[in-house]
Amino acid sequence: MSGGHDSLALGLLSQRSGTDEGHLMFKRVLIANRGEIALRVQRTCRELGVETVAVYSEADRDALHVRNADSAVCIGPGPALESYLVIDKIIEAAKQTGAEAIHPGYGFLSENADFADACDAAGITFIGPPGSAMQAMGDKVSARKLMEAAGVPVVPGANDIDFNDLETARREADRIGFPLMVKASAGGGGRGIRLVETAEGLEEGMRQAGSEAQSSFGNATIFLEKYVNPARHIEVQIMADAHGNVRAFGERECSIQRRHQKVLEEAPSIAVTPELRQRLCDAAVAAALSCGYRNAGTVEFLMEDSGEFYFLEMNARLQVEHPVTELVYGVDLVALQLAVADDEALPLQDGPLEPRGWSIEARINGENAYENFAPSLGLVEHVESPMGPGTRFDTMLFDGLDIPPFYDSLLGKLIVWAETRELAVERLRRALDDLLIVGIHTNVPFHLQLLQHPDFRSGAFHTGWLEESFTMPAPPEDDSREQTALIAAAIAASLVGNATPTNSNGSSSTKWMRATREHSIGLKVQSGGGGWRHGIASS
C-alpha cells in the first residue's frame, strides 16, 4: 500500500549514513517558521540525519523549536511583519548558518512566490513548489482558468471583476443566480469572502470583500461564484517531483468549519466511495500537472450530496491537517518533501492507494469555547499530553510557556488513528479527556461536545453545519473536586518554588524557573485558579 514511500524514506536515511556515496541529500535545512510545524519538520530532519536551523522572533526566544534546533538565529521583534515575514532576514540567516535548503512550513511565507524566487536567486533550495506554480495557483481567478483548461470541474462563476464595477457584477450575478459568493482573487484564510443572498445585497457584499481584500492582500480584484450549499469541503493531498510524476494520497474531510476556518479534519471521508476517490485523485493530479507543480500541495474541492465536485483552490504548501493522511497511508510527507526537493523521483505506484483505518485531527487552539471562542493567551502553567495506542500530539506547549500575542491561536494538533471511524471518534474523546492544559482557555470542551453530536457521529454535516446546527452548551459549574485540585496544585507549586531543586548535573534551578512558578501561583490566587481538566478556565 505505502511501502514504496517508506522505502524512499529509508533510502534517504541510508544516503545520509553514507551507504550511497554517489549522492547526499541536504546536510542542513533552515525552517522558516515557528510552533508545532517547525517542530514537526525538525523531527523528520533529525531522523534523516539532517541538521536544522531555527529562526525566531524575540518573543519566541524560549520556544521549543529554538531549543530543539542545531542552531538558531534571531530575525527581529515579535510582530511577524518585522520577523517571520521578512524575506531578506531569513535568506541572510540561511547564508550565515550554511543552510542549503529552506522549509517554509505553512502560513507566513509558505505560499509567497517572491520568497521561493529569492531562495532560488540565493542558490538555496526552496522545499516547496516553484514561484511560477505559486503565482498560478495563488491567484484564484488564474487558478480557475487553469482548471477549466485542464478539464477539472470548477464552480460556475465570473472572473476578474473590479469591486467598483457594479453593472458588470449585476449582469454576471443574474446569469449565475443567487445566492452567490463574492470572493477576493488573492484571498485566503477566510478573508475577502462574502455570502450574498439577494440582488439587493450585492453592492455591499462587493464593497466589503473588495475592501478586505485590498487591506489584507493589496489586491481588490474579486470574482463571483455560485453558492454551493450544502456542500462538503473535500481535499486531496498530492506530491509531485521534478520528473513529471504526481501522486495523490487520497482525500481528507474538512467540512467542520467555523468562520471559514477548519477546526477538525479526518481521513478518509465518510461520504467518499472508492470510485469517487479515484475521480477526485485524478482531478487533483490533473490540477498539479496543469501548472508544472512540484513538491507537496493540496487540491481542495466543494462536493455536493450527489457526489458532484468542483475545484475550490490549491494550497501550495504542506497543510495543517497533513498528519491524518500520514497515518492512514503510512507515509512521512515531510520526508517526501525533502526527497523531491533534492531531485529524487517518486517511486512507482502499483494501482491506486487505499486508506488503511481512520484518522481524525482536532486543532487545539488558545480560545475560550464558552465565550464565542475569544482568544486566550498567557502563561501555560502545566501540560499533560495524552498517550496510548494510535495517539499523536503535535504541539509547541511546555510548562512555563508564555504564549506571545503576535501569532495565530493554534497551540497544537491532537491526532488519533484507529481501525474504524467509530473507534477513532472514541479514541479522540479519550485523548481529549487525557489532555490537560492549565493556565489558559482552550477549545477542548468544544471538541468534546462536537464528538458527541449525533450529526457528527453519523457524518450528516457540511461546511455550514457547525454554525447552523451546533450550539455550545453553558459551562459546567465548578465543583469541590476542581477547587481541591486547584488548591493542591498551588500548594505543590509553592513547595517546589520554595525548595532549592537541582538538575541532573546538581546545579540549582534558574531564577527564571523559580519566577515562573511564583507567577503561576500568583495567577491562581488572583483569578481563583487557572482551571482544571475541562472546566471553565483550563480548557
Residues belonging to the active site: 317
Name the nearest CA neighbour of 424 among 375, 374, 394, 459.
459
**What is the DSSP secondary structure assignment for residue 124, as one 8-state letter?**
-
Strand partners, 410: 365
Q: What is the CB neighbour count within 10 angstroms for residue 467?
A: 11
Q: What is the CB neighbour count within 10 angstroms for residue 423?
A: 15
Backbone angles phi, psi at 245, to 5 degrees: -100, 135
Contact assessment for residue 362 and residue 428, using Cβ atoms and an 8 Å cutoff? yes
C-alpha distances (whole Å) from 275 to each of 237, 250, 278, 287, 305 are 17, 12, 5, 19, 15
Strand partners, 313: 300
By three-state DSSP, how is residue 404 classified? coil
Alpha helix segments (H runs only) across 17-165:
35-47, 64-67, 87-97, 113-121, 131-138, 140-150
Q: What is the CB neighbour count within 10 angstroms for residue 143?
A: 24
Distance of CA 95 to the CA centre of its chain: 28
As given in the structure block, the three cell numbers for residue 234 are 473535500
Q: Which helix (H) or strand (E) holds 159?
A: strand 157-161
d(CA 75, CA 508): 31
Pairing of strands 232-240, 295-303: antiparallel
C-alpha distances (whole Å) from 201 to each of 159, 173, 410 are 19, 11, 34
C-alpha distances (whole Å) from 516 to each of 190, 497, 520, 522 are 37, 9, 6, 10
As given in the structure block, the three cell numbers for residue 89 are 532576514
Name the nearest CA neighbour of 381 among 240, 488, 538.
538
